[in-house]
Structure formats: C-alpha cells, structure tokens
Amino acid sequence: MSKRRIIVVGSTGSVGTQALEVLTANAADFEVIGLAAGSQIELLLTQALDFSAPVIGLTTPPAGGEAEIRQRLDQLAADRGISSPVREILIGDDAAEAVAGAPADLILNAVTGAAGLGATLAALDRGTDVALANKESLIIGGSIVLDAAARTGARLIPVDSEHSAIAQALRSGTADEVHKLIITASGGPFRGMTRDALRRVTPAQAFKHPTWTMGDVITINSATLVNKGLEVIEAHLLFDIDFDRIEVVVHPQSQIHSMVEYMDGSTIAQISPPDMRLPIAYALGTEPNGEPRRLRSGAEGNNWMQPTHWSFEPVNHIAFPALGLAVDAGRRGRSYPAVFNAANEVLVDAFVAGQIPFTAIDEGIDSAMRAHEPAAEHTVETVLAADAWAREFTRDQLAARPEPVGRV
C-alpha cells in the first residue's frame, strides 16, 4: 500500500507538533509533503528536515525573505550532513493557503483562528479531505465551507476531541435515532468562581488549565468557555443537529470527551485520557472511503484498576456568558459567528497583555455582536469584511476604555 501524502498547516503549534508525533509513530503509512507555519521559522525548518518536506510556507517571514530562509535551511541541513529536501518556499499572508492547495491525500489544518479559513477552502476546492483542528474556519465560513465540501466531495474530519468523540459515538446508530449531542466541558481553571471573582483573575491563572495542555489562545478560550461555544456551533455544522438538541455539561475530569444520546434513552460516550494525540490519530487514520482506521497515537489508555470518580454539573451561564453568546451567534448565522470570533481574538490579546480584566472578554464580544449589521449575502468577502469590522470595532472600544488594568 502506498503512503498517504499529508500536508500540515499550522505545524509549529500545539496540535501541529502533536500531529507530527503521530505521523512519526506511523511513518510507514504517511509521507509529509508540505508544512506551513506562522512565524516560528527555526522549528518549521527543523520539521522540514525531519520529515523531508519538499514544500514549506511561512506567513510571517524574516526580514531577508525567502533568501534568508533558504540560507538558514541550507545551514541546518549542512550541520546534519544532508542536502535540503525543500524545493519550494512560500512566504506571505497566503502561504498557508497556497501550501494547503497543493495536491495531497489529506490536509491537517491546525492554524489558529480565522486565519485558517483560506487553507480550509483551498483544500476543499481541490477536493482534498481536511482533518479540521481549525474550528474557526468552519464556524465563520458556515455554509460556504459546507458547500465547498459538497461541491468537490471532500470530507471535513473533526480533530477537536469533542467532535471526534461524537463522530465515534455516532457510529452506534443512524441519524434518525439520535436524540441529542452532549458536549463535555472541563470548566477550565475558574470553574466554580463567581462573576465578581472572575474580574480579578490573571492571565497567568488562566493559562493553568487543570487537565489539557494546549496553545495559548485556546487555553484562554477554554477559561472563558468561548471555546465550548465555538464547539457547539461546529457540532451543529458538522453533524447537522439543531442547536436545541446540543447540550453542554461540565465534566471536570476530562475523561468523557462527549456523548450521543439516542431515542431509546441509551447514551454512547467516548472515553480516554485528555491527550490530543488520540483524536489527531483518529482523524489521520480515516480512510479515503471515510471509514476510520485506528493508528498508534503514542498516548496511554485509562488505568481501569485505579479507583477514580467522574462528576458532571451544569454550566454557570451567569459567570460564563460567552457560551450563550456563541450559541446566539450560531443561531443568527450569516456573519455573526465571524464577529463573535474576531472580537474574541482581539480581546484575548488585550487580556493577555494586561489591558483588560477577564470579564471584559465576553462583555466586548457582546458589544460587537449588538453593534453588528450583517450583509444581505453570505460570501467569503462578506465574512472577511465582518471579521475586519469586528476587529476594528473592538480595538476602538478598547482604546476608549479607561486606563489599562495593568500587567498582571
């Protein structure tokens, strides 16, 4: 059997690096033919040599541009006593999109945020299946992304642990038998805190997720429950389930990654330790015909001989209103999810920089959504325009705030 040709965009981030670990553990089955990253040039070049990738992309190149990248790459290769395998270097804002649009059997999109939309559409337009860790591209693109997949027959394969869990549980019944989806949430580092107490938390505290090790943006999004709201929208789009039939429950142990309840009252859950290599491996192992094939993930399974307990509790929507705001954006559709996401990205940066309190994140999202007037049509252009508007609106709102709260 020939190796499957894989492209990883966002290869230097948390999901990207773990995906490359999984590919290393299954090297006999895969060939990495392209890598793209944002600004971590040294890590990208090291990955290119490790995996003999012929094409690389960098969206934020060094001052010397392609020539400097080539020089640094050749030096790293010489240090190893090898020739550089890289034939093509793409740089600039569209680098990840260009790499993702190359011929391949599967694209893993692990870009963070709205910037991943172009890469998702480039792959789908070519008819390439997309293992989607970049949930934002589906959420803000909505029907645009789904239509692109339908037009070419390409598949969207979920990488988020929650949606991977749902996909696995859905194999236990037919679509007509599904009663509801239950998405689990760890509750983040601030579970149980009041709204007033949340006003005083620090970025350092927000980065200390109790169960998962993730990138900075998604860790803050987990703390606000923004990430869980985005996951509800993603589940609605991926599995064609009404918002009224998608629930979120807090499960602090992060062992049950989501559940499907069927019409007979049975609930099927996917259970594993909180390790992203598991859903990554499940996505990468999906065969061209859509059938899953389990790969070696490198993760350990649960120790069933060790006494333990699992608990569940409802979401505190008063303390964490971002979840409800996200669902509202999803129900409204059109460009509202793009506005929600763009405002959040700006506000997360401001919180991390010590410019605003934690609770100003969802408050700022709410302000942007209230002020937004969506275009009549839902196109890539109107989505990108809404994204740009939300960023500018939110930055203007930040500039009008009183003195910053100070770096904490």
**How confident is the model at residue 405, as a pLDDT?**
55
Strand partners, 109: 9, 132
Q: Under a CB-based contact definition with an 8 Å cutoff, are residues 262 and 173 in contact? A: yes
Query: Does residue 407 surpass a pLDDT of 50?
Result: no
CA-atom Rg of the chain in angstroms: 21
Strands 256-262 and 267-271 come out as antiparallel
Start-to-end CA distance of the chain, whole Å, equals 55
Query: Does residue 408 surpass a pLDDT of 50?
Result: no
Helix (H) or strand (E) holding 31: strand 30-37
Confidence of residue 404 (pLDDT cuts 50, 70, 90): low
Alpha helices in 225-353 (DSSP H): 226-239, 277-284, 322-332, 336-352
Closest to 108 (Cα-Cα) out of 207, 30, 46: 30
Per-residue pLDDT of 329-363, as tens digits, reads: 999 999 999 999 999 999 999 999 999 999 999 99
Query: Does residue 303 surpass a pLDDT of 60?
Result: yes
Query: Does residue 126 surpass a pLDDT of 50?
Result: yes
Q: What is the mean pLDDT of residues 315-323?
A: 97
Q: Between residues 218 and 193, which one has the greater pLDDT?
A: 193
The reported pTM is 0.93
Q: What is the mean pLDDT of residues 136-156?
A: 96
Q: Between residues 107 and 211, which one has the greater pLDDT?
A: 107
Per-residue pLDDT of 61-111, as tens digits, reads: 999 999 999 999 999 999 999 999 999 999 999 999 999 999 999 999 999
- Which tokens go with 82? 């090898």
Burial of 36 (0-12, 13-18, 19+ CB in 10 A): buried
**How confident is the model at residue 403, as a pLDDT?**
63
φ/ψ of residue 263, rounded to 5: -65, -20
Q: What is the mean pLDDT of residues 44-53?
A: 97
Q: Between residues 213 and 252, which one has the greater pLDDT?
A: 252
Q: What is the mean pLDDT of residues 252-259?
A: 96
Mean pLDDT taken over the chain: 95
Report the alpha-carbon distance of residue 168 to residue 165 in Å, rounded.
5
Of the candidate ranges 134-138, 207-211, 274-278, 312-316, the one whose mean pLDDT is the lowest: 207-211
Query: Does residue 18 surpass a pLDDT of 90?
Result: yes
Q: Under a CB-based contact definition with an 8 Å cutoff, are residues 178 and 263 in contact? A: yes
Alpha helices in 225-296 (DSSP H): 226-239, 277-284
Q: What is the mean pLDDT of residues 221-235?
A: 96
Per-residue pLDDT of 190-207, as tens digits, reads: 999 999 999 999 999 999
Distance, CA of 180 to chain centre: 23
